[in-house]
Amino acid sequence: MLDVAFAPLSAVPILRCADLVRTVAFYGLLGFVSDRLSGYAVFTAGDAELHVSATETVLDPGGCLIHVSDATATRAALAARGVRLLGDVEEDGRLGAGIRSLTVEDPDGNRVRFVSPWS
């Protein structure tokens, strides 16, 4: 267990992309606002934050999990914006109360999974 003085407060994924302009447009469809730096972007939406670093090619795509209040409503909103979804909302009861989730893939193959409680 970590000492309280060194306990992490949050974690922020850093994904890679080959085309920062295209990536900013994609995450804008997901509802994120971006601050761009040279070869780098910081995306925020609500309390969620993720970073993207530009590289020539993305050899090993990454992923991140974003907590939302309702995965089903998130799916409807993303579909209405034209975001390509990787399947439908999935339900998983293995984690006690369970979760609902859906996954999208950005243009570089990074997977973004939206997760909400299953009530």
Per residue in 81-115, pLDDT tens? 999 999 999 998 775 668 999 999 999 999 999 99
Angle at 111 between CA 115 and CA 68, to 5 degrees: 20
DSSP state of 6: G
Q: Which CATH superfamily is domain 4-117 in?
A: 2,3-Dihydroxybiphenyl 1,2-Dioxygenase, domain 1 (3.10.180.10)
Give the pLDDT of residue 50: 96
Token look-up 């910081």 returns 42
Residue 80, classed as helix, strand or coil, is helix
- Calculate what percentage of the chain has a pLDDT beyond 90: 81
Per residue in 8-35, pLDDT tens? 778 899 999 999 999 999 999 999 999 9
Write out the two tokens for 65: 């999990």
Angle at 78 between CA 72 and CA 81, to 5 degrees: 145
Give the pLDDT of residue 10: 80
User: Is residue 15 within 8 Å of 52, Cβ to Cβ?
Assistant: yes
Per residue in 57-78, pLDDT tens? 999 999 999 999 999 999 999 9
User: Is residue 63 within 8 Å of 106, Cβ to Cβ?
Assistant: no
Side by side, the strands of the sheet bearing 14-17 are 14-17, 48-54, 40-45, 33-37
Write out the two tokens for 71: 């995965």
Segments making up each domain of the chain, as ranges: 4-117
Give the pLDDT of residue 109: 96
**Is residue 102 classed exposed, middle or buried when 0-12, 13-18 and 19+ CB atoms within 10 A define those classes?**
buried
